[in-house]
Structure 1
Amino acid sequence: MTPLEQRTGAISAVRTLGTAWALAAQALQAADLDYGHGCASAEDEAAWLVLHAAGLPASEAGDFATYAHQSLTAQQALQIETVTAQRIATRQPLAYLLGEAWLVGLRFVVDPRVIVPRSFIAELLDEGALDPWLTEPPHRVLDMCTGSGCLAILAALVWDDAQVDAVDLSADALAVAEINREAYALQHRLRLVASDLWASLAAAPSQAYDLVLCNPPYVPTASMRALPEEYRHEPEMALAGGADGMDLVRRFLHDAPAHLSARGIVVLEVGNERAAFEAAFPTLPAIWLETELHAEGVCVLLADDLRLAFAPGAGT
């Protein structure tokens, strides 16, 4: 019996969620995996996997104890054992092995064509969270670098009168976003656009956006080289941001003013790269927002500030 079989082989014999969770968590913990694709620990991933196999939503993980004594079929237990072994052997994110990711309690279809949804922006897309900078509910919303479409969908669900555009350069990503758009029946309000940033979007007052969301590639080259194996299964173009992580951010912000309404705002995620952002845009005022998982990974940029910073001769 191989070491992997020793760690996972007992799972298929168990018949309750709680026992399967304990064995799966123990096996994952022993494998020294890396987390960060929707879960922070082996215990969290094991709970998600066991709930999935039992046909329960991952949003129930917080109440997992309620289900600990629920029975598992032999087939469900075997699925948990198999996926646990795959997670350890391949180091793929669990989201890819299950074909789903969960963000603020909502399910999205994912596969290796898209980055696993985990944007800090998601928790800000709740009624009232952006009110200090949105003078009224947005009529037109853009999700730039949409990937799976999760942020665009969340925005459409929060502001049910808004028209939402979701842009990505990757045709593969847009194919996944289409699956998720259909799952939430948003074909009439959510438009998917293949574009290299702003290239395919009209810069006209009637097409201006009140709210632009952007979770771009922002991982610096040096950090890309040091990424754990789990992250190497994701599309490189969704992560790599050039030498300082700001290559795409520079292009995005330079042309943003022409596409914003008079009081439009940009909500931009840069993760751990606040210092790099401030070095790249020293004169651009940014309002840094605290989220549950990151104190300074997301900022709000105002249309007037962007127009001033990127005016001809401004030197930004």
Structure 2
Amino acid sequence: MQHFFSEIAERPVSFLPKDHPFKTVRDWLRFGASRLGEGEVDCSSGQQNPMEEARFLIAKALHLPHPLPDELLDAALLPEEGKRVADWLRWRIEDRVPAAYLAKEAWFDGLSFYVDERVLIPRSLFENLFSEVLPEFALPLATRRILEIGTGSGAIAVALALHYPEAEIVATDISADALAVAAHNIQLHDQEGHIELRLGDLFEPIAEHERFDLIVSNPPYVSDAEMADRPPEYRHEPDLALAAGEDGLEVVIRLLEQSAHHLNDCGYLMVEVGFDAQSILENRLPEGTIDWLPMPFEGSGVFAVDRSRLNGTAWRDLLAAPEDLMA
């Protein structure tokens, strides 16, 4: 990121009006929100709409608290502060750098995490499950041993550790760079003795004899077509954490095939697949094969399946694309 910023730091701020009149935080907020909206900038990995995205960017650029307090809106900016805000808006609008990467911060489950381009920006649907749905599966378990596959920034692992302080948590990732970010976040939240990080692809770093009560994963599930058509913001994120083959199920199928061996008898696998992959799974799997977990909005995007169903199902055959079956 630093190399990227240094390359563009001296480029003119082409979207600023000549001799612009912006003096206060409010002036910059109005201008930033307007330009974010005009530029059809995708805010889905950030604050969800142009006004809140502009508030976040300005607060972070000026080292002010977020949410930006209303009483600061009429504060006048020094010239160097105005330039800094202009730079951040330029990077966000013209170069489409996600706000979280600019701020080096993202929020998940009410917690602040360090992020950069080595990891996905945390936005997992699991965030909606911690308070009500996960306890139904995790709290009654005898040993409460939890495995997260593909931890990325470590946000889900840290949230699990804080919700289940008695559980032993192992978190894996195929990327050493991602694990470095996860280690930083684990330290940030004082969970070093609670979460063990391991490097490897899926269950590769898990010993043959190891068993868990709960396996969770937010794996890559973006199809080839979606990868080609994704917004510019998402092109700053690591492809390794997104791309999952022609239909987005490449990694999901491997998880379904391999998880049973590492689950205790009453254990569960929980996987986030998003809404497009959910539609494919619903069309190809018999009803009741997996359970879609309730969300506070329409749809789910996260399924759970117990060890007995994992063991007795030919997942690759069931999830084969229709054209594969005719071959």
Tell me which residue corresponds to 1:40.
Answer: 48
The answer on whether the counterparts of 1:51 and 1:57 sit within 8 Å (CA) in structure 2 is: yes
The answer on whether the counterparts of 1:163 and 1:190 sit within 8 Å (CA) in structure 2 is: yes
Question: Percent identity between the aligned chains?
Answer: 31
CA 66–163 in structure 1, closer or farther in 2 if over 3 Å, else same? farther
What displacement does 1:194 show? 0.4
Gaps of 5+ in 2: 1-11, 320-327
Q: Which one of 48, 51, 55 corresponds to residue 63 of structure 2?
A: 55
What displacement does 1:129 show? 2.6
The answer on whether the counterparts of 1:308 and 1:314 sit within 8 Å (CA) in structure 2 is: no
The answer on whether the counterparts of 2:118 and 2:237 sit within 8 Å (CA) in structure 1 is: yes
Tell me which residue corresponds to 1:6.
Answer: 17
Deviations 1:174-221 (A, max 9, x none): 1111111111111111111101100110232xx321121111111111
Gaps of 5+ in 1: none
What displacement does 1:291 show? 2.6
Show the 5 A alignment for 1:236-255. 236-255=239-258
Residue type of the alignment partner of 1:287: D
The answer on whether the counterparts of 2:113 and 2:155 sit within 8 Å (CA) in structure 1 is: yes
TM-score, with normalisation over the residues of structure 1? 0.87
Show the 5 A alignment for 1:15-34. 16=25, 18-34=26-42
More deviation in 161-170 or 285-294?
A: 285-294
Residue type of the alignment partner of 1:178: A
Residue type of the alignment partner of 1:131: P
| Partner SS, residue 132 of structure 1 | helix
Residue type of the alignment partner of 1:271: G
What displacement does 1:108 show? 0.9
The answer on whether the counterparts of 1:53 and 1:79 sit within 8 Å (CA) in structure 2 is: yes
CA 302–170 in structure 1, closer or farther in 2 if over 3 Å, else same? same
Tell me which residue corresponds to 1:104.
Answer: 109
Tell me which residue corresponds to 1:277.
Answer: 281
Distance in 2 between residues matched to 1:260 and 1:172, nearest whole Å: 28
Tell me which residue corresponds to 2:158.
Answer: 153
Tell me which residue corresponds to 1:191.
Answer: 196
Matched, 1:300 2:311: no
Q: CA RMSD in A?
A: 2.7
CA 7–202 in structure 1, closer or farther in 2 if over 3 Å, else same? farther
Show the 5 A alignment for 1:53-202. 53-58=61-66, 60=67, 64-65=69-70, 68-69=73-74, 75-126=80-131, 128-134=132-138, 136=140, 139-202=144-207
The answer on whether the counterparts of 1:99 and 1:111 sit within 8 Å (CA) in structure 2 is: yes
Distance in 2 between residues matched to 1:254 and 1:260, nearest whole Å: 12
CA 208–21 in structure 1, closer or farther in 2 if over 3 Å, else same? same
More deviation in 166-175 or 273-282?
A: 273-282
CA 170–57 in structure 1, closer or farther in 2 if over 3 Å, else same? farther
Residue type of the alignment partner of 1:130: L
Distance in 2 between residues matched to 1:71 and 1:140, nearest whole Å: 53
CA 135–109 in structure 1, closer or farther in 2 if over 3 Å, else same? closer
TM-score, with normalisation over the residues of structure 2? 0.84
The answer on whether the counterparts of 2:216 and 2:270 sit within 8 Å (CA) in structure 1 is: yes
